Structure 1
Amino acid sequence: MTKEKSTLRIALVCNTAWAIYTYRRGVLRMLTTRGAEVTIIAPRDRTFEPLIEMGCRCIELPVASKGTDPREDLKTLAALYREYRASRPHIVFHYTIKANIYGSIAAMLARVPSIAVTTGLGYTFIQKSRAAQIAKLMYRFAFRFPREVWFLNKDDHHAFKHENLLAHPDRARRLHGEGVDLDEYALEPLPAREDFVFILIGRLLWDKGVAEYVEAARRLKPKFPHARFQLLGPVGVDNPSAISRTDVAGWEAENIVEYLGEASDVRPLVAAADCVVLPSYREGVPRTLMEASAMGRPIVATDVPGCREVVEHGVNGLLCEVKSADSLAQALERMLTLPADERAAMAQRGREKVAREFDEKNVVERYKGTIHAITGISL
């Protein structure tokens, strides 16, 4: 029996509101335009205002996103439990490790259905550290409770199965990335000019392969003086792997890279580049690569989980070895020296791949179908 006259209440929980606003805007638009009450639960940041303008309700969440103090984590769990008891959402979507673990437990205690979305395991997950072992134990316990567990790539799904972290393996689903708005990220012709511009976009973390990118640039610039190497993204973020502004200033002083700061809209900078680079150590399914391919930019990325979901070697870009400045430099040089028509063909194939596999409309339909299956309410 459906509940057509009920107002659907949906909550989305993450360690940053920015990630919900940036990656799930299509889902939010669909929910709010169809009359759902949407609550965003996350630490306050500058995206609270645009989320409220979209029609969402925003609740500030205490979460130590990188800390390991159990007292802080209990505060997160308690805050989520109180919110779920008070607002009684029909379904909650949890993103990122702490929301997945403590949110799944809080939702179970409050008798609220939930979905856990693993947006990427993080490189520390595959290390042998004590923190990684504790995280796995917590995952194994917490993932007993969600109605479904969504994975963005097959490697993360296989990692959970291999580590026996899924109490209910039949509840695992593949989302295959969180999608790109193909109208918003329209195909742009490659620039016609003398210079050749590489750009790395993302939070400036060592785990994103920034050191390898800088070293590759250092090796290639004497041979290819027309090559430019840009960095776009925040420095000094709250992360153990964060790169400081001092590090970046040193590279700028050497004339190796151009630091572009941050941008609320990356599209003009992607359009002005010839190739987008992401030498990351591990990803979920990287949004920057999906957007770059949608706009018709060839990619150089590492052959790691997440990146290889988007990049087919020799088809829409090139893959290189992880943590290898040598391999990255070779891939960048190959991209530099490819005939223009071959790069243009790569660009076109990238657009076609994103349209085929990562169209945001398909992701929105998955949310609609899951919400109806669990709540009985049609959107």
Structure 2
Amino acid sequence: MKDKTLLIVTTVPETLMTILATQPGFLNQSFKVHLASSGAGEMQKLSAREGVPVHEVTMQRGMSPFRDLVSIFAMCRLLRKLKPDVVHSYTPKAGMVAMVAGFLCRVPVRVHTFTGLIFPTQTGVKQKLLINIDRLICFCATRIVPEGRGVKKDLVEYSITRKPLDVIGHGNIAGVDLDYFRPGIDEVDDKSRALVAALNIASTDFVFCYVGRLNRDKGLKELGLAFKALPDTARLILVGGLDSAAPVDDATLQLFRDHDRIHVLGFQADIRVALATSNVLVLPSYREGFPNVVLQAGALGKPAVVTNISGSNEIIEPGLNGWVVPSKDAYALQVAMAQAMVTPKVELEALGKFARSRIAERFDQAAHRVRMKDFYLQELGLD
């Protein structure tokens, strides 16, 4: 197997540094793995950690036809040099660049994973353009992998491709490290107690936690409106940096900064501390592929309030490990959060225990990596 070369492509190295962390290193035991992404700053660090070569191919997020052509030509040069047996892309721009280049260079196995679809929430000309880009990706790929059942449903309903669409396992692209994300780690608990003291959180307070970019499509406007209507014992911790490409509206951002019971922590390298400090995760997104933070919170024994969208509704089952509400509905979100606050402690703990068991059963990182190895072997005809 080591004579087969696998090239994994993402638009930015952050995906490889966080979500896909250590997966390339594992796969390198069976294949000759190479990575390609934008951003020279992280390349050496990424290569050293994974133990595989990393190549820079500049890719511009957003719509930029001329720069996209430059990126495709640069990817073609890399493919001619490496001659991979498999090229696998994640994220939209990497998909377009890698699949078109892979098609032109006749890479035998060309896989794209749709980790989340943008076009269902768009309208008009922009939606048509995004649909056509995704159709181009699918045309050039030999195998299409939807990250979850919801993504698969949208690909079918919008007639993006007629090629087979099979979710790997129960969905998600990486799984969860159940040892890293587990309750009762002394270091995490110590830092959590320090955070509680720093934020002056009382033992009678109920703490919600949001983790993600401060992006307008994450439902933060509705979260702000819902939180304002909750009792004074409610607290909200926000973890994540401001997304300059699609920022939260000014009024919501001002509310987050001014409200004395909302705590904006910014980007945190270790989100376990904030999650350990909270009672319930809240993720009111308008769209997701398959949200890792809901899996991670569940592994830590935290139930979640999520919106009824792809990915989130594939993880959370009302009454078992959390609450599911309509997206863009601040009142429904407020009602669910209020219900969480009055849930007896023993019931809340039961929800958390089920959440942990469900993640262990379906989304264990170790099991997912084996599935990925088997997937590549199957695509190569070596299973």
Give the TM-score, by structure 2 length: 0.89
In the alignment, residue 240 of structure 2 is paired with which amino acid? G
Measure the CA separation in 2 of the matches of 1:184 and 1:50.
21
Give yes or no for contact 1:101–1:143 (8 Å, CA) kept in 2. Answer: no
Q: Find the counterpart in structure 1 of residue 256 from structure 2.
A: 251
TM-aligned CA deviation for residue 246 of structure 1:
8.8
Q: Could you tell me which of 197, 215, 222 is aligned with 1:212?
A: 222
Correspondence 1:42 to 2:37: yes
Q: 1:45 to 1:256 in 2, by over 3 A?
A: farther
Give yes or no for contact 2:257–2:264 (8 Å, CA) kept in 1. Answer: yes
Q: Find the counterpart in structure 1 of residue 136 from structure 2.
A: 141
Measure the CA separation in 2 of the matches of 1:278 and 1:354.
17
Q: 1:35 to 1:362 in 2, by over 3 A?
A: closer
TM-aligned CA deviation for residue 102 of structure 1:
2.6
Unaligned runs of 5+ in 1: none
Q: Could you tell me which of 78, 81, 106 is aligned with 2:76?
A: 81
In the alignment, residue 18 of structure 1 is paired with which amino acid? E
Q: Secondary structure at the match of 1:111?
A: coil
Give yes or no for contact 2:214–2:247 (8 Å, CA) kept in 1. Answer: yes
Q: Could you tell me which of 205, 223, 236 is aligned with 1:229?
A: 236
Q: Answer with 8-17 or 78-87: which moved more.
A: 8-17
Q: 1:271 to 1:320 in 2, by over 3 A?
A: same
Q: Find the counterpart in structure 2 of residue 96 from structure 1.
A: 91
Measure the CA separation in 2 of the matches of 1:332 and 1:11.
43
Q: Find the counterpart in structure 2 of residue 339 from structure 1.
A: 344
Correspondence 1:203 to 2:213: yes
Matches within 5 A, 1:304-315: 304-315=309-320
In the alignment, residue 370 of structure 2 is paired with which amino acid? E
Measure the CA separation in 1 of the matches of 2:235 and 2:42.
32
Measure the CA separation in 2 of the matches of 1:164 and 1:36.
34
Q: Find the counterpart in structure 2 of residue 10 from structure 1.
A: 6
Q: Find the counterpart in structure 1 of residue 197 from structure 2.
A: none
TM-aligned CA deviation for residue 36 of structure 1:
3.8
Map Cα deviations across residues 263-282 of structure 1 (whole Å, 9 max, x no partner).
Answer: 11111211111111100001
Measure the CA separation in 2 of the matches of 1:108 and 1:79.
14
Matches within 5 A, 1:141-160: 141-160=136-155
Correspondence 1:284 to 2:320: no
Q: Could you tell me which of 161, 164, 177 is aligned with 2:159?
A: 164
Correspondence 1:270 to 2:275: yes
Q: Could you tell me which of 115, 118, 140 is aligned with 2:114?
A: 118
Give yes or no for contact 2:222–2:328 (8 Å, CA) kept in 1. Answer: yes
Q: Find the counterpart in structure 1 of residue 167 from structure 2.
A: 174
Q: Find the counterpart in structure 1 of residue 195 from structure 2.
A: none
Q: Find the counterpart in structure 2 of residue 25 from structure 1.
A: 21
Measure the CA separation in 2 of the matches of 1:279 and 1:345.
23
Aligned pair count reads 364
Give yes or no for contact 2:234–2:261 (8 Å, CA) kept in 1. Answer: no
Q: 1:128 to 1:247 in 2, by over 3 A?
A: closer
Give yes or no for contact 2:229–2:334 (8 Å, CA) kept in 1. Answer: yes
Give yes or no for contact 2:120–2:154 (8 Å, CA) kept in 1. Answer: no
In the alignment, residue 208 of structure 2 is paired with which amino acid? F
Measure the CA separation in 2 of the matches of 1:160 and 1:306.
14
Measure the CA separation in 1 of the matches of 2:315 and 2:184.
18
Measure the CA separation in 2 of the matches of 1:56 and 1:247.
43
Q: Find the counterpart in structure 1 of residue 265 from structure 2.
A: 260
Correspondence 1:185 to 2:181: yes
Q: Answer with 57-66 or 285-294: which moved more.
A: 57-66
TM-aligned CA deviation for residue 11 of structure 1:
1.3
TM-aligned CA deviation for residue 49 of structure 1:
4.0
Measure the CA separation in 1 of the matches of 2:263 and 2:215.
16
In the alignment, residue 61 of structure 2 is paired with which amino acid? S
Correspondence 1:53 to 2:48: yes
Give yes or no for contact 2:224–2:252 (8 Å, CA) kept in 1. Answer: no
Measure the CA separation in 2 of the matches of 1:340 and 1:49.
47
Q: Secondary structure at the match of 1:300?
A: strand
Q: Answer with 187-196 or 19-28: which moved more.
A: 187-196
Measure the CA separation in 2 of the matches of 1:162 and 1:226.
44
Measure the CA separation in 2 of the matches of 1:35 and 1:231.
40
The percentage of aligned residue pairs carrying the same residue is: 25
TM-aligned CA deviation for residue 195 of structure 1:
2.0
Unaligned runs of 5+ in 2: 193-201
Q: Secondary structure at the match of 2:172?
A: coil
TM-aligned CA deviation for residue 231 of structure 1:
0.7
Give yes or no for contact 1:17–1:40 (8 Å, CA) kept in 2. Answer: no
Q: Answer with 227-236 or 241-250: which moved more.
A: 241-250
In the alignment, residue 234 of structure 2 is paired with which amino acid? A
Measure the CA separation in 2 of the matches of 1:279 and 1:46.
33
Map Cα deviations across residues 4-47 of structure 1 (whole Å, 9 max, x no partner).
Answer: 4x443221111121112211124223123x16433221111664
Give yes or no for contact 1:303–1:321 (8 Å, CA) kept in 2. Answer: yes
Give the TM-score, by structure 1 length: 0.90
